[in-house]
Amino acid sequence: MRSLIRTHATEFSLLAVIVVISTVLSFATANFFSLGNAFDLLNISAVNIIFAVGLLVVLIAGGIDISFAVAASVVQYGTAIALGWIGGGGWISGLLIAGSLGALLGCFNAFLIHRFRIISIVATISTFNIYFGLLMFFTRGVSIYDLPDWLTDRVILFEREMPDGTWIEITLPVLVMIVCVIATWTLITRTTTGRQLYAFGDNPEGARRFGINIGAMQFIAFGWLGLMAGIGGLIQAHYAQEVVPNALYGRELDVLAAVVLGGARLGGGKGTVLGCVLGVLLISITQNGLNLMGVSPFAFKMIIGAIILIAITLSNTRIERLLPFVGQKGTGR
C-alpha cells in the first residue's frame, strides 16, 4: 500500500483534495452536489482536458508552450474557412483539417526551438503574439456564426430525465476527450517514443548521447500538442456553436495550472495522464463551486496563480518530506 501511495502520490493527493473540496461545496451551495452539475462539469471540462493532455507531452519532453490556446483559435477560423471551400464537409473532414492545421502550428514552434536554439517559453510567447495578432488583423475581431449544420447540431451520447423534470446528458465533446486521453496515454506509456520523451525531458544531454533524435522529440511533442489544440478548437466551436476570435484567449493559464498541479514537472521527465485529468477536474470543480457561491471571477484568477505556485513548490519537494509515514519502511512481522 505504501509503495502504491509513493508511486502515485500526486494522484492520491488530488483525489483527496477533490473529495474534500466537493464535500465543502456540497454544504456551501445547494446545486453543487447533483448529478446534473457533475455531468455539466464533465461536458464543460472536455476541451480543457484535450488541451491538457497535449500540453502534458510537451512538459514531459522538457518544454513549455503557452501559444496552444491561441493556435486553437486560429485553427477554428482556418477550419471554418476550409469547410466553406469544400462545401461543408463532415466530422471526419473537419477533424482532419483541424488536426492538421494544429499540428502544423505546433511543428512551427518546434522548428523555431530546434533550428534556432530558442528557449521554448520564449519561442511560444512570440508565436502566441504572432498567432493572435494575425488572427485579429485578418478577422477584425468578427465572429463566425454561419457554420455547417453538422458542426452546430448537438450530439447527445446519453441523456436521462431526472425526477425534478431536468435532463442530464453526456455530449460529443466527452467522447472526443476520452479518445484523446487514451491516445495520449498510449503514446507516452506504451510506445518507445513515449519512453524516449521521458528520457529526453529528464536528461537531454544523456538522451542525446544515448542516440535519441532530439529534433524528432521536439517535433513529436509540440506537434502532438498542436494536434490536440486543433481538435480541441473544433470541439469548442461545436460546443459554443460559433467561432469567436478571443474565446480561448487566456485559457492557457488554466490548463497549465491544471497540468502542473497534476504532477507534470516544468523541468521535464515527469507527468501522468491520470494526474493531468485530475488536475483539470480540480480546477473545474473549484471554479464551478465559486461560481455557484457568487464569488468574483477575479478571485478565481488569484486562486489559479496560487495553485501554480503551490504546485511548482510541491513538485520540487520530495513526497517523503511532506508525508513522512510514506517513506517509513514497514516494521510488520
pLDDT at 39: 92
Alpha carbon distances (Å) from 137 to 131, 132, 221, 245:
10, 8, 29, 10
- Mean per-residue pLDDT for 157-164? 88
pLDDT at 329: 45
Angle ∠(315,265,218) on CA atoms, nearest 5: 170
CA-to-CA distance for 190 and 325, rounded, in angstroms? 32
Per residue in 221-278, pLDDT (tens digit) is 999 999 999 999 999 999 999 999 999 998 998 899 899 989 898 889 999 999 999 9
Window from 104-118, 157-171, 317-331 with minimum mean pLDDT? 317-331
pLDDT at 96: 97
pLDDT at 4: 63
Per residue in 42-68, pLDDT (tens digit) is 999 999 999 999 999 999 999 999 999
Mention every residue, 6+ apart, whose C-beta is less than 8 A from residue 193: 187, 220
pLDDT at 308: 67
Please give the backbone phi and psi of residue 86, each rounded to the nearest 5 degrees, phi first: -95, 10
**Pick from 252, 304, 276: nearest CA to 66:** 252
Task: Please determine, for residue 331, whether its predicted confidence score (pLDDT) is greater than 50.
Answer: no
Mean pLDDT of the chain: 90
H helices, E strands: number in the chain: 16, 2
Q: How confident is the model at residue 325 (pLDDT cuts 50, 70, 90)?
A: very low
CA-to-CA distance for 224 and 50, rounded, in angstroms? 11
- Mean per-residue pLDDT for 196-205? 96
Task: Please determine, for residue 319, whether its predicted confidence score (pLDDT) is greater than 60.
Answer: no
- Model-wide pTM > 0.85: yes
